[in-house]
Amino acid sequence: MITLVTFAVLLCLGLPIVYLLLASSIVFTLEVGVVALFDSFLVQSVRGVEATGFLAIPLYILVGEIMNRSGITERLIRSAMRLVGSMRGGLAYVNVLTNAFCAAILGSATAQIAIMSRSMVPEMAKHGYDRSFATGLTVTTGLLGPIIPPSMLMIIYGVLAYQSVAALFVAGFLPGLLLVIAFFATIFMSRKRLPDSSDVPVLSFALKDIGLDALPALIPATIIAGIISGVMTPTEAGALAAIVSLVISVGVFRSLKLADFVPVMKAVVLSSAAIITLIAFATLLGWVLAYQGIPDLLATAIADFSAGPISFLLLVCLVVFILGMFLDGIGVMIVIVPVLLPVAAAFDVDPIHFGVVISIATLTGLISPPVGPGLYIAMDATGLKMKPIVLGTLPFLGAFLVCLLVILLLPELSTALPSFLGL
């Protein structure tokens, strides 16, 4: 109880999340009075990140960083504009499609929300879109990042649940597509409120320009082809994608100079450290809690409340949503997955399906007030207050939740593609 109160108070006061996890571990250890656990804090933190699957994280961050500095966002926006820009409310569709393209390269929702809020929202506002609508759309479609492969959350789930990361990457494809269709449908339903796209810049349809703007597609193609063919592990595919992105940026776009080397690597170090230390200290907290059997109690309570696999998954989504409002998605996953995976197995829930559902459910917390970090990132990028952003997200969050329910009810959406490909 003391730990829970400490956690809540320090969270509200703004203690950095990694230190919040550490503080909770220390307070809990003191609360239960087993100070001998302190001797193992270092080893448990380091062992938490000592899984080869995590090697993929800096590689995919490097790919995103290289492509971001090469002006990839503008190229992706142009590619999307050629496809859907001429429709009424064209920029809204462009926003969704660019986010889907970005998701196939970046793999992180927060990075995507930050990038897209700075590029798409001003552009949409300039063409007469309501800023609240534009920001809400950008924030919600940013959630595609960890669903469409490659995905940081899937890598972490794969390591925690001893599942094939390749299968998880592929499993996210159909749910991602379903979400894109749902976002398109939501925009279509609100088309009367959207401006005509007649003043959207006319783009060149010359083959060379189309080809150059579509070139970044080589990166997800490398990743997906490498993984699906079974030739490469996700880590090796990430390494190859890093090489491909470097060749494209330096050799074709000529947008990356030698002087960019240290800033790029520094950004990779800081972003990786932010994610991996979160894994380390969340693992430590999970270990400390496990010492007192807290996870077992939670698992038993959820199992007791559940009548079958569907009610179990719904309850998990609720727990994850509530936790996700106060804790980073990675932290939620590390605390929840080892606890609930055995219960999921007892209910005959496919572990790949469970991974997809839990990853998507975790994302809802990212844009839910009062804590939703995605909202804060958008507030920082657009200068809007939380209320208009939340109002703007509502229709798209509704579509997102309906899709989550469909994905939850139809395990085949997650499992069919990996089974078909023999992963």
Partner 1 sequence: MRFLTWIDGAVRRLELALAVAAMLGVVTILSAQVFFRYVLLDPIFFAEEVALLLLIIATFAGLSLLVAEECLIGIDLVGPKLSPAARARLDLGMKLLTALISGALAVFAVSYVITPWVWFERFATVPLPRASLYTLVAIELCLATFHQVVLILKGVFDPTSQAAQ
The least distance separating partner 1 from the CB of residue 381, rounded to whole angstroms, comes to: 15
The answer to whether 204 touches 418, Cβ cutoff 8 Å, is no
* H/E element, 121: helix 109-126
Contacts of 9 (CB under 8 A, 6+ apart): none
Nearest to 65 by CA among 221, 276, 279, 238: 238
Nearest to 198 by CA among 92, 122, 98, 85: 85
Q: Is 280 in the site for partner 1 (CB under 8 A)?
A: yes
Segment lying near partner 1 (by CB under 8 A), choices 259-267, 347-355, 359-367, 401-409: 259-267
The answer to whether 99 touches 142, Cβ cutoff 8 Å, is yes
Sketch the per residue contact string, 374 through 413, with partner 1: x for CB under 8 A, - otherwise: --x-------------------------------------
Collapsing DSSP to helix, strand or coil, 194 comes out as coil
Residues between 112 and 171 that touch partner 1 (CB under 8 A): none
Q: Is 290 in the site for partner 1 (CB under 8 A)?
A: no
Tell me which residue has tokens 């597509």: 177
Q: Is 16 in the site for partner 1 (CB under 8 A)?
A: yes
C-alpha 139/C-alpha 100 separation (Å) is 13
Q: Is 79 in the site for partner 1 (CB under 8 A)?
A: no
Count residues binding partner 1 (CB under 8 A): 56
Q: Is 274 in the site for partner 1 (CB under 8 A)?
A: yes
The least distance separating partner 1 from the CB of residue 115, rounded to whole angstroms, comes to: 17
Segment lying near partner 1 (by CB under 8 A), choices 88-96, 177-185, 230-238, 332-340: 230-238
The angle at the Cα of 111, spanning 109 to 70, to the nearest 5 degrees, equals: 130
The least distance separating partner 1 from the CB of residue 151, rounded to whole angstroms, comes to: 19
DSSP one-letter string for 55-78: GHHHHHHHHHHHHHHTTHHHHHHH
Out of 2, 4, 12, 394, point to the residue binding partner 1 (CB under 8 A). 12
205 C-beta neighbours (distance < 10 Å), count: 8
C-alpha 255/C-alpha 29 separation (Å) is 51
Tell me the backbone φ, ψ of residue 94, rounded to 5 degrees. -60, -40
The least distance separating partner 1 from the CB of residue 62, rounded to whole angstroms, comes to: 6
C-alpha 12/C-alpha 343 separation (Å) is 32
Q: Is 49 in the site for partner 1 (CB under 8 A)?
A: yes
Residues between 336 and 375 that touch partner 1 (CB under 8 A): 370-371, 373
Segment lying near partner 1 (by CB under 8 A), choices 86-94, 141-149, 235-243, 307-315: 235-243
The least distance separating partner 1 from the CB of residue 13, rounded to whole angstroms, comes to: 6
Give, as one character, the DSSP assignment of residue 196: P
Q: Is 181 in the site for partner 1 (CB under 8 A)?
A: no
Question: Could you tell me the CA-to-CA distances from 109 to 104, 345, 353, 364, 387 in Å, in that order?
Answer: 11, 28, 20, 11, 21
User: What's the token pair of residue 23?
Assistant: 């503080």
Out of 144, 232, 356, 363, point to the residue binding partner 1 (CB under 8 A). 232
The least distance separating partner 1 from the CB of residue 207, rounded to whole angstroms, comes to: 32
C-alpha 406/C-alpha 408 separation (Å) is 5
Segment lying near partner 1 (by CB under 8 A), choices 140-148, 227-235, 316-324, 331-339: 227-235
User: What's the token pair of residue 215?
Assistant: 């070139």
Q: Is 17 in the site for partner 1 (CB under 8 A)?
A: yes
C-alpha 85/C-alpha 202 separation (Å) is 9
**35 versus 297: smaller Cβ distance to partner 1:** 35
**39 versus 304: smaller Cβ distance to partner 1:** 39
Site residues, partner 1 (CB under 8 A): 10-20, 22-23, 26, 38-43, 45-46, 49-50, 52, 54-55, 58-59, 62, 231-232, 235-236, 238-240, 242-243, 262, 265-266, 268-270, 272-274, 276-277, 280, 328, 370-371, 373, 376
